[in-house]
Amino acid sequence: MIRIVFFICFLIPTGIAEAQEKRVSFPDAGGYKVLVCDPHIHTVFSDGLVWPTLRVEEGIREGLDVVVITDHIEYQPHKEDIPNPNRNQGYELAKTFAKDHPILVIKGSEITRSMPPGHFNTLFLQDANTLQKDDPFEVLREASRQGAFIFWNHPSWPGKAEDGSVHLFDMHQQLLKEGLIHGIEVINGKNYYEGAVALALKYDLAMMGSSDVHGLTEWDYQISKGGHRPSTLILAKQKTEVSVKEALMERRTIAWYNSLLAGPEKYVSLLIQSIIKIRSAKYQGSEFMGEASVLSIVLENESDVEFILENVSHYSFQQSLETVVLPPHTSKTLFVKTLKKLKDVEIPFLVKNAVIGVNQHPTWVLKAAIN
């Protein structure tokens, strides 16, 4: 009898999505869905170490909404074992595998040239095979003809800048003039390029974050211990390929890794407002102070981002310093010394973990009616 029960257990299939809880999650922001996307991933169809279906499986397990497999067009180190004559093959395998799962797989490729111009990802391609041309201008023009969204990868590598600065060569100026660059990586793997933030704002480019993973995401980011991969948060009207493309073309993106958020002020502010919630604000009496003037405010962080909030108001706090840390998916009570009883309160904070320009942080104002 026991043997039969075991046998039956082995026969019950377990879906990937059902077997794992969603790991990363963000609430909607300003009417947009906040989609978590990794737009830069490698497989054995270039210099990665895994099969494309495993990339989709990792994405589902980590709670990603969108993945883009971007194997190098030109660099094919596994060619002897995997000849890869059809450069769309990796995408097709991944797309078929993803069919019954809530994850979008978008067709992409990485154009791989020495600097300048360096490496570029092309997304929403129709046919990756047509990108096998000598002249990088011709390759990017062809991608553009196919309606691709094009972004500049790890812009200070390959090159001499190890300090996060980004050098714009004449070739890049020309590509920008032709409208062939729509985004730029400000986060690639564990690297942050502040020079790319400045360029994104100057030339109206989408700020992108990606893993550029070649091995397992678990190896690089310890997902099983609560880590996550660097990603792009896309503010899209719907969770569809059309909406994702529209959002990228309209630059509605925020690059994200751990506590770092980098994006345009408008969208970063929308995101912060949707994430940090005020659960209550009331005065609490105490044995010693009677109807005291210490206001207790409960804040909740509804996201996977750790927030670092620096109080820039004239109020001070009773039980904490001026800088308040709100870990992911937690709530925290602030005890604000208002000195007199108020009916409502406004406390501005600098959000130190978010950047809206080089060394520039957005302000979030805690506004509460007191009950």
Phi, psi of 13, deg, nearest 5: -75, 145
Which spans of this chain sit near Zn ion (rule: CB under 5 A)?
110, 119, 153, 212
Of residues 57 and 110, the one with the C-beta less far from Zn ion = 110
Smaller CB separation from Zn ion, 43 or 153: 153
Compute the distance between CA of residue 257 and CA of residue 183 in angstroms, rounded to an integer.
Answer: 17
Rounded distance, CA 325 to CA 210, Å?
Answer: 25
Looking up tokens 């990485």 gives 110
Residues facing residue 105 across a β-bridge: 67
| Nearest-approach distance from CB 112 to Zn ion, in angstroms | 6
Backbone angles phi, psi at 19, to 5 degrees: -75, -20
Measured distance CA(299)–CA(306) in Å, rounded: 13
| Shortest distance (Å) from residue 77 CB to Zn ion | 13
User: Between residues 153 and 274, which has the closer beta carbon with respect to Zn ion?
Assistant: 153
- Smallest separation, CB 153 to Zn ion (Å): 5
Least separation in angstroms between CB 211 and Zn ion: 9
| Inter-axis angle of helices 52-62 and 89-98, nearest 10 | 40
Closest CA to 116 of 136, 139, 141: 136
State in angstroms the smallest separation of the CB of 57 from Zn ion.
20
Q: Could you give the CA distance from residue 184 to residue 208 in angstroms, rounded to a whole number?
A: 6
Give yes or no for a contact between 300 and 331, defined as CB atoms under 8 angstroms apart: yes
DSSP-assigned states of every residue in 150-180: EEE-STT-SSS--SS-----HHHHHHHHTT-
- From residue 227, alpha-carbon distances to 24, 67, 231, 257 in Å are 10, 18, 12, 10
Minimum CB distance to Zn ion smaller for 58 or for 110:
110
**Shortest distance (Å) from residue 278 CB to Zn ion:** 41
Nearer of residues 125 and 356 to Zn ion, judged by Cβ:
125
- Residue, CB closest to Zn ion: 119
Cis peptide before 158 (omega within 30 of 0): yes
What is the phi-psi region of residue 223: left when phi exceeds 0, alpha when psi lies from -120 to 50, beta otherwise?
alpha
Q: How far is the CB of 110 from Zn ion (least distance, A)?
A: 5
Shortest distance, position 69 Cβ to Zn ion, whole Å: 11
